[in-house]
Each structure stands twice: as structure tokens, then as C-alpha cells.
Amino acid sequence: MKVLSHKEELKLVHQYLTDGDALPIIQQYKNLVFHTIKLVLNFEAEPLFVDIIDFLKNDVFIDLLDHGLEDWDHTKGLNLTGWIRLISKRKALDYLEKCDIYNQTSIDLKFSLETIFQKPSNENTEEKAIARVILNNIPDGITKVTPPRYQLVLKLFIYHGQSIEKIAKTLGTSKENASRMKSLALKQLKTIVGYI
């Protein structure tokens, strides 16, 4: 993909809006959309299927060409490439939510409570019973964490066992930001489920 200047992006959008020819936009950005979606869907526990990525890629272009290009405001600092990448990420995350990949009803945690909350294990039977109650409250507790982006971080970490590096890559953010979000989300979750 040849990186377009701001002027070239505006020309490409103007050309589509005036004559309706979508082919230049699709050809320019199809690889970006494909790889962005692939990056978001690339979970260790979930196989990647090219037909799903292609379906989502087509869906991105339908949304983009129906109203997305008209919604893009180049004066707000986000170039067309960034706008299309953002739409692609949102489409892939929406797909994951619709497929219920994160909203698991059974406890299938990759880590113990001690690992999740960085607290050493205790052999006390009463504390083990309390820990089991807390463990059973984690799925419901995650849904109460705000903002929703923190919920996603927790689900990637707890359910899928993803590292900070993998979470950062999935969300398209820095490792430092992903680590900060995980820390703040876990702090909220501890309070919600009563793990103090």
C-alpha cells in the first residue's frame, strides 16, 4: 500500500463522493483493513479463518462507503488511514462481542485468583471457600467494571491468558497504557467482587 498524502486522501474521497467509484479506495486500503482485522482476531485460543476476515473486511467497506467517508472529518487530525483502521478495529471487536467470545457464562479462567490479584495463596479452608465465592463472582464483576475498554482488558487477561504485550497489540496501544488499564481494571474488579 502506497502511503497517500493528506491531499491525495482528500482527492480520493472527493472522487468517490462525486462519481461513486469505490474501486480506488478498496484497492488502496484492502490490505490495511485485512491486517487490522486479523490483528484484533488473533487470539491464541481462537483459530483465524480467512473467510471470517474477508466477511468483516467487506462489512468495513460497506459501512465506510455507505456513510463512513462522509463522517470522516479530516480537520480533526485523523488521516483517512487512521479512520479506516479505527473502523476496522471496531468492526472486529463488535464481531467478537456478537460471537460471545468474551461473555463466557462458565468460569474458564487461565489464572488462579492469587495470580490474577497478585496475592499469595493461603491454605486456610475458610479462605479457600471465600476465594471460591469470589471466583464465581468474577464474570459478573467484570461486566460492572468501567469503562468497557477495561472489561475487554480483563477478559483478554483472565479468560484468554494474554500477556500485556498481546493485549497492547490487540487494542492497538502501548504496553505501558495496556499495563495501566489492566492495573486500574483489576483494582476495580477487586473492589466489586470483595477481594481486598
Query: Which CATH number fits the domain that encloses residue 168?
Result: 1.10.10.10
Of 65, 98, 131, the residue at which a domain comes to its end is 98
Structural domain that includes position 62 = 6-98
Is pLDDT of 176 > 70?
A: yes
- Percentage with pLDDT > 90 across the chain: 5
- C-alpha 75/C-alpha 70 separation (Å) is 13
What pTM does this model have?
0.51
- Picking from 101, 68, 98, 99, the residue whose alpha carbon sits closest to that of residue 86 is 68
Q: How far apart are CA 65 and CA 17, in angstroms?
A: 9
Of the residues 98, 127, 147, which one is the last residue of a structural domain?
Answer: 98
pLDDT in tens, 88-133: 988 888 777 766 544 443 344 444 555 555 454 555 555 555 555 5
- Please say whether the beta carbons of 108 and 138 come within 8 A: no
Residues 136 and 182 in one domain: yes
Provide the pLDDT for residue 48: 45
- Residues ≥6 apart with Cβ < 8 Å to 94: none
Give exposure, 150-181, as e/b (b: 16+ Cβ within 10 Å).
bbbbbbbbbbbebebebbbbbbebeeeebbeb
**Planar angle of CA 60, 154, 126, nearest 5 degrees:** 155
94 and 11 in a common domain: yes
104 within domain boundaries: no
Element (H, E) at 191: helix 175-193
pLDDT in tens, 30-39: 999 988 888 8
Same domain, 47 and 83: yes
Residue 107 belongs to some domain of the structure = no
Cα dist from 80 to 10, 73, 120, 162, 180, whole Å = 8, 9, 49, 30, 29
pLDDT, mean of residues 52-68: 82
Total domain count for the chain? 2
- Regarding whether 52 and 118 lie in a shared domain, the answer is no
